[in-house]
Each structure stands twice: as C-alpha cells, then as structure tokens.
Amino acid sequence: MNKKEIHSDYKKKIDKFKEYNKAYFEDSNPKVSDKNYDDLKKKILELEKNYKFLESKDSPSNVIGHKPSKNFSKSLHKVPMLSLGNAFSKEDLVNFEKKISNFLSLRKNVEIYYSTEPKIDGISASLTYKKGKFYKGLSRGDGKEGEDITENLATINDIPKIILSNDFPNEIDIRGEVFIQNSDFTNLREKFANPRNAASGSLRQKDPKDTKKIPLKFIAYTFGYEKGLLVNNQFEYLKKLSEWGFKTNPLNKLISGVSNLIKNYNEVEKKRSNLDFDIDGIVYKVNDFSMQKRLGNVANAPRWAIAHKFSSNKAISKILDIEIQIGRTGALTPVAKIKPINIGGVIVSNATLHNEDEINRKDIRVGDTAVIERAGDVIPHILSVDIKKRIKNSSRFIFPKNCPSCGSKTIKEFNKVTKKIDAVRRCSSKDYYCDKISIEKLKHFVSKEAFNIDGFGKKIVEGFWKKKLIKFPHDIFKLEYNKIEKLEGWGKLSVENLKYSINQKKQISLERFIYSLGIRHIGLENAKLLSKHFISFSNFKNLSQSNKYDDLINLDGIGETQINSIKIFFSNYLNIKILDELEKVLTVNNVTVTKSNGILKNKSFLVTGKLNGISRAEVKSLIEENSGTTVSSVTNKLNYLIIGDKPTKRKVESAKQLKIKIIDQAEFLKMLNKTS
Ligand code: IVH
C-alpha cells in the first residue's frame, strides 16, 4: 500500500470506530460484538504504530481513559458541579478579593477568611449519602449531569460506605477528588500518559473488579445538595468531613489577606515535588457560608472561590517561525512555531506570543532560542529569549501592517475605558468581509456554548469553507448533503449523522443565539442579560431600527464597551441580512420569564443613591430571586423606589409626583424578612 492508500484505509477504520462508538455510547444500540469492536481498535492502534504519520483525534489512542468503557447510565446532579476561575498572580488575587468586597459592599477593614486547599489534579466525583448510607456516586460529566459510577466508586477504600455519626446530614452529596498516588502510578506508566488519565480510566472500567485492582484514593472537599448540614463555614465542614471518616487534605489552612495567601502558596509550591500526589494549584474559598450564598455564581463558577495555579513547567527550544493567526474579532495573534519539545508530558510545537507589544518588548525573533512555559490547560507561551545564543544576521520581527488574510489595514484601537491604545492589532475589515474572521466566526457559531452542533468541529468548518459549502452561519442549515457525501472521509452514515445533529439544533434559546453571533465583548453572561432584556428574537433584531441602545446601559454588567460593540454589529448591513436568513431557518425560543411565587411577585423596584453594606448587583439578584423585577427609570409602572445616600433628586421628585412608594434600605430588607 502506498501512503495515500494507508491514509484512506486508516480513515475508513476511524470512521467505523466512531460509528460503533456512537451506536454504543449515545444510542445504546451496539452495532457489533465486543470482540469485533476490540479487533478494530487493535487494528487502528497497530496502523498508528507502524505508520507514525497517522493520527486522528478520534483514535482509540486519544480516548483511552476518557471515553466510558461501558454505557453508564446518566443522572442529574441535584446541585450542579461547578468549575473554578483561575488566578495566576498577586494582581489576580487582589482583583478577586476586590470583587468580593465590592459585591458584598464590605467596609475596607473587614478581613475575608479563606479556606485554602491544595488542588489535586484528579477526577471529581459526587457521592450521595442517604440516612448515612452511600447511595449513589456520579462523575462530574458536564457539571449538570454525570455518569452513574456507584459500583466503581464503592471499590475505593477511602470512601466510607456507612456513617453512623449523629450529626451526619440526613441526605448529602459529598464531593471530592479521586486520584492515584504517584508511587502507585509507577506501575501503570506503560498504560497511561499521567496519573490523572489513569484515575479517569480505572474509574470507568466495565467491571468494578478492574477498578479495584488500581489503588484509587479519595479526598473530600465540598458538598452539593444537603439536608441537615449543621455547619456554617467551609473550614468547619472540612473538620466534620474527617470526623465522619473522609480523608481531607492535610495541607488545608484557614487564611486571611492576600499577602498571607501568597506566603502559603510559596510554601506549598516548595513542598510540591515531595508530595505523593499531583497538585496544580491552591483553591481559595470564602470561608463563611452565608457570604458564599450571597456571592452566588457567575456562569459556571462561583464568585466565592478561585484556583491559584502553580506556574508550570518550562523548557528551552528554538523558534522556527512566527505566524500570525486571525481571531473571530479580527485580533492578530502572533504564534511561534517551535521545534517540538516535551513540556510536562505534552509535546509542544506552538507557543503564543500574545501581541505586537510583547514581541517588541522581549525582542523575540525567528531563529531565537527561547524559554517556553506551559501552565495548566493554558496555551504555552514564550517567557524569554536568550540573546547570547542569537544567530548573527537575525532581524527584528516586523508585525504586518496589513491583514495577512484580506489585506485590509491593521489597526490598534483606542480604549475609551482604560484611555490607552490597545496592545492588540486588529484587521479593520468588518466581520464577514475578511475570510479568516469569517471562518473563526463560524467555528464560534457551532461551538459548544453556542449552537453546540455535534460532530461539527473546527476541522469540519475549515473543510466545508474550503469547498465553498459554507460562508455564512445560515449556510449551515442549508447544506448540500449530496455534495458532502461525495467528499473524502464522508459516507452515507456520517452525512446522516451530521444532518441529524444540525436539524436537532434548529431550535435554540435566545441567550445561546445571541452568544453564537460572536459579537465582540458579548460573552455568555452578557448574552444572558441581553436575552432577558429583549425576550424575543424580533425585539433583538429590531434594535437596529428602534435605536434603543441607551436602554441597555441599565443592565447590570453591560457597559459602554458592550453597547458600542452591539452598535457596530447592527451597523453592518451584512449582519442584519444574516439575522434575516437565520430567522427563516431557525426557531429562536422566547425567554420565558419564570415568575415563580416569590415574595416580590409583580413588584418592580428602582434603586437610587448609595446603599449601605449591600451592592446594587446584590440588591438586583435578591429582587430577582424573589420574583420581583428591576426597572431602569421612574415611570408609572414602578412600584418601589429604594433610596440610599445622595439619591438622584429628579428620580425622587418624579416618584413623589407619580405617588410611587419610596422606601429606604431597611424597609426593603424588611420586605424580604431580612434585617440590614
Ligand atoms: S471546589 C465550587 N475544592 O477543581 C467549586 N475543587 O476547577 C468547585 N478540585 O472540578 C469545586 N481540589 O475537580 C474544589 N479543594 C478543592 C479542589 C477542587 C481539586 C478540582 C475539582 C473541580 C475543579 C474545579
């Protein structure tokens, strides 16, 4: 067989493997016997071994330890399993604390205490106990729904099966990390790339007996749903966990003040290499549960916790070339192509150079010998270059003044908020007039948090674009499937699957829809705010005619930067056309305002002036939690004007004229049966 034939044979096998996986894992309808499945897997792995040029993200070599090896049933987490935001520097920690303090409107001298817990790099699990008995164990899954791996978890010695303590809650989800100690991993090195993969792989064994063979450990650190938990802070909870028989991390501490957090961070980092388990940072959690509750979550991470990541692994390699990538918002990002090198178990061949200023500041040149750093899941970057090792006739890198894709001028914008010129240079083309921007926008459109079209990944977007099958988002819903079927790597079945995934996504929430448009500065949170404001697709689209941009300033979280960006979006005729076309092929669901029967049902509020000990953001979320609404101006629709310190006179006057109830902070809190 020549190279082409080998490729094609390999591709066919991978497609088959994917098809079998889908049938087994997603449709619960296996197409072949276990033996045939295993044989195919073996053949693919053999091909890869013999022909090093073969690779595929769908290869069994890439899914080892990730894909469930049996069809575990799925189960919803009663309380979602959140993820954590990251901090890398002192500055990030100062900001984290500042945000908390602002949200809670704390006085300057109030110290916030944190439970600090080394972050073990394993697999999180949620263990439900009912009446003291281990009842069910779930993997994290997507945070909302996990796999039922009860039997496998039950093989772990560190997981108590019966807890008799009187103060153990009637029902509770105990959450923590399943991991393998480094000393135990030594024997598994052949089979798995790292301890984390080994833990994940063995947790998902078909037969719990196989899980039992691998010495998994469990450390507990938080909880989900609970009924009858009698503690009011995290550190006390950790203490209770060990009284109840769970292992907790011996390096957990209670600390206040950013400088003390950093002192502890440095101390733990020094101990890191001597520990028998991998940690990749320290988790800080606001200790007090009532504060945690008030702070709540942003997107899928709590406001009250953050992971302070350890700085990474470093390595030295050579810069072979500097390429310019163009992002969805037109940002030109320089990327160093480096001589491939293993950094902490991962082969790195690309490193980001961030932006033009960074290249100039560090005088990074093609041919340089550089220190490359890889921290956590973040894209590796160039830390510094060794000038002594520089080749003689190297020259400074000149950043392109024209977009390498469409040739338009590249510009650096003036940021009105920071009053500085942006470090990032951008293509000045409007969205879909630059090919590269278009491709990136399409990738965003189909991505997980947007339309989430199964099997429509980045590679497929690029492939379809090249074949001129898609140019604009609506093209995705009008694909010529008969043409795709004839393309290399596609067949009847894979096209059917694609068609099915696309058709399934023809109904979408307004929130996801707005997010998917990829408007600059409109991320998930802002898309949610906008969707709640507009309620329907047509209201959103009409913005270009109604021009009611100024109303948006009243949405907490939307500022001038975002409004400007939305204006720019609607000023592009092509975007309106795309909205029109999408309207024809999609059903965008209206936002249903779930007016539950809270205490403030049918009551609207407006705050004016500074409140004491509580921020506007918190008042707003309190009102919404209790089914009330907040409005942005005094009209006869307003029920209550809450006044704080130095209220706007005009608002108070109009409220008086309209005979609207004017209340102060204490009266407002009383309505919620709270005291200030
Ligand atoms: S708390 C509510 N505590 O980190 C916050 N997580 O990025 C989420 N992790 O999925 C969990 N050690 O796998 C928490 N002491 C600790 C942790 C910890 C490790 C992992 C966990 C989670 C991920 C969040």
Give the pLDDT confidence of 530-542 residue by residue, as tens digits. Answer: 999 999 999 999 9
Do 541 and 498 share a structural domain? no
Residue 43 annotated as catalytic:
no
Do 653 and 558 share a structural domain? no
Which atom in ligand 1 lies closest to the alpha carbon of residue 249? Answer: 15
Mutate to test the pocket of ligand 1, among 77, 81, 83 (most ligand atoms within 8 A of CB): 83
Give the pLDDT of residue 337: 96
Average pLDDT over residues 344-351: 80
Report yes or no on 68 lying in a domain.
no
Average pLDDT over residues 583-597: 84
**Helix (H), strand (E), coil (C) string for 246-311:** CCCCCCCEEEECHHHHHHHHHHHHHHHHHCCCCEEEEEEEECEHHHHHHHCEECCEECCEEEEECC
Q: How far is the CA of 231 from the centre of ligand 1 (A)?
A: 20
Average pLDDT over residues 329-337: 95
Q: Bridge-partner residues for 652, per DSSP?
A: none
Report yes or no on 400 lying in a domain.
no
* Confidence at 52, pLDDT banded by 50, 70, 90: confident
Alpha carbons 647 and 611: distance in angstroms, whole number: 10
Angle, helices 3-21 vs 34-50, to 10°: value is: 150
* Confidence at 56, pLDDT banded by 50, 70, 90: confident
Task: Answer yes or no: is pLDDT of 68 > 70.
Answer: no
Give the pLDDT of residue 55: 82
Give the pLDDT of residue 29: 60
Average pLDDT over residues 633-657: 94
Give the pLDDT confidence of 253-298 residue by residue, as tens digits. Answer: 999 999 999 999 999 988 887 788 888 899 999 999 999 999 998 8
Which atom in ligand 1 lies closest to the alpha carbon of residue 123? Answer: 13
Using an 8 Å Cβ cutoff, are 537 and 582 in contact? Answer: no
Do 206 and 134 share a structural domain? yes
Which of residues 309, 332, 361 is at a domain's end?
A: 309
Give the pLDDT of residue 27: 54
Give the pLDDT of residue 675: 65
Report yes or no on 658 lying in a domain.
yes
Report yes or no on 330 lying in a domain.
no
Comparing 35-39, 179-183, 275-279, 568-572, which segment has the lowest mean pLDDT?
35-39
Q: Bridge-partner residues for 629, per DSSP?
A: 604
Which atom in ligand 1 lies closest to the alpha carbon of residue 252? Answer: 15
Do 192 and 147 share a structural domain? yes
Do 628 and 496 share a structural domain? no
Give the pLDDT confidence of 657-675 residue by residue, as tens digits. Answer: 999 999 999 999 999 887 6
Alpha carbons 484 and 488: distance in angstroms, whole number: 9
Q: Helix, strand, or coil here: 517?
A: coil
Q: How far is the CA of 83 from the centre of ligand 1 (A)?
A: 7
Alpha carbons 397 and 365: distance in angstroms, whole number: 6
Domain interval for residue 271: 74-309
Q: Which residue has the tokens 């204006």?
A: 567
How many separate domains does the chain show?
5
Average pLDDT over residues 430-455: 93
Give the pLDDT of residue 291: 97
Using an 8 Å Cβ cutoff, are 352 and 364 in contact? Answer: no
Q: Helix, strand, or coil here: 14?
A: helix
- Is the Cβ atom of 174 under 6 angstroms away from ligand 1? no
Do 493 and 513 share a structural domain? no
Do 15 and 147 share a structural domain? no
Q: Helix, strand, or coil here: 173?
A: strand
Do 627 and 545 share a structural domain? no
Taking residue 99's Cβ as centre, other Cβ atoms within 10 Å add up to 14
Catalytic residue among 13, 41, 119, 528: 119
Q: How far is the CA of 86 from the centre of ligand 1 (A)?
A: 11
Which of residues 505, 529, 549 is at a domain's end?
A: 505
Task: Answer yes or no: is pLDDT of 520 > 50.
Answer: yes
Report yes or no on 134 lying in a domain.
yes
Alpha carbons 528 and 317: distance in angstroms, whole number: 43
Give whole-number Cα distances, 436 to 196, 402, 441, in Å. Answer: 36, 13, 9
Mutate to test the pocket of ligand 1, among 117, 127, 177, 289 (most ligand atoms within 8 A of CB): 177
Comparing 199-213, 214-228, 318-332, which segment has the lowest mean pLDDT?
199-213
For the chain, give the mean pLDDT.
89
- Is the Cβ atom of 221 under 6 angstroms away from ligand 1? yes
Do 464 and 612 share a structural domain? no
| CATH (domain of 7) | 1.10.287
Give the pLDDT confidence of 450-502 residue by residue, as tens digits. Answer: 999 989 999 999 999 999 999 999 999 999 999 999 999 899 999 999 999 99
Output phi, psi for 485, to 5 deg. Answer: -55, -30
Alpha carbons 63 and 474: distance in angstroms, whole number: 32
Give the pLDDT of residue 31: 72
| CATH (domain of 639) | 3.40.50.10190
Give the pLDDT confidence of 296-310 residue by residue, as tens digits. Answer: 988 789 999 999 998
Alpha carbons 445 and 245: distance in angstroms, whole number: 47
Task: Answer yes or no: is pLDDT of 378 > 80.
Answer: no
* Confidence at 224, pLDDT banded by 50, 70, 90: very high
Burial letters 262-275, b for 16+ CB under 10 A, else e: eebbeebbeeeeeb
Give the pLDDT of residue 69: 40
Report yes or no on 458 lying in a domain.
yes
Q: Helix, strand, or coil here: 595?
A: coil
* Confidence at 202, pLDDT banded by 50, 70, 90: confident
- Is the Cβ atom of 301 under 6 angstroms away from ligand 1? no
| CATH (domain of 455) | 1.10.150.20
Do 638 and 565 share a structural domain? no
Report yes or no on 373 lying in a domain.
no
Which of residues 460, 489, 505 is at a domain's end?
A: 505
Average pLDDT over residues 643-652: 94
Q: Which residue has the tokens 């404001």?
A: 533
Encoded amino acid at 603, one letter:
K
Give the pLDDT of residue 296: 93
Alpha carbons 266 and 668: distance in angstroms, whole number: 45
Q: How far is the CA of 306 from the centre of ligand 1 (A)?
A: 9
Taking residue 187's Cβ as centre, other Cβ atoms within 10 Å add up to 11
* Confidence at 66, pLDDT banded by 50, 70, 90: very low
Task: Answer yes or no: is pLDDT of 65 > 50.
Answer: no
464 or 340, higher pLDDT: 464
Alpha carbons 494 and 456: distance in angstroms, whole number: 11
* Confidence at 80, pLDDT banded by 50, 70, 90: very high
Give the pLDDT of residue 62: 58
Do 642 and 578 share a structural domain? no
Alpha carbons 430 and 371: distance in angstroms, whole number: 37
Do 8 and 152 share a structural domain? no
Using an 8 Å Cβ cutoff, are 287 and 128 in contact? Answer: no
Give the pLDDT of residue 63: 53
Enumerate the H helices of 51-153 as residue ranges: 60-63, 90-103, 150-153
Tell me the residue ranges of DSSP E strands in 27-122: 74-76, 85-87, 113-120
Q: How far is the CA of 264 from the centre of ligand 1 (A)?
A: 18
Give the pLDDT of residue 30: 62
Alpha carbons 18 and 552: distance in angstroms, whole number: 46
Residue 572 exposure: Cα atoms within 13 Å on the Cβ side: 16
Report yes or no on 55 lying in a domain.
no
Alpha carbons 511 and 450: distance in angstroms, whole number: 9
Alpha carbons 611 and 646: distance in angstroms, whole number: 9
Give the pLDDT of residue 64: 36
| CATH (domain of 223) | 3.30.470.30
324 or 38, higher pLDDT: 324
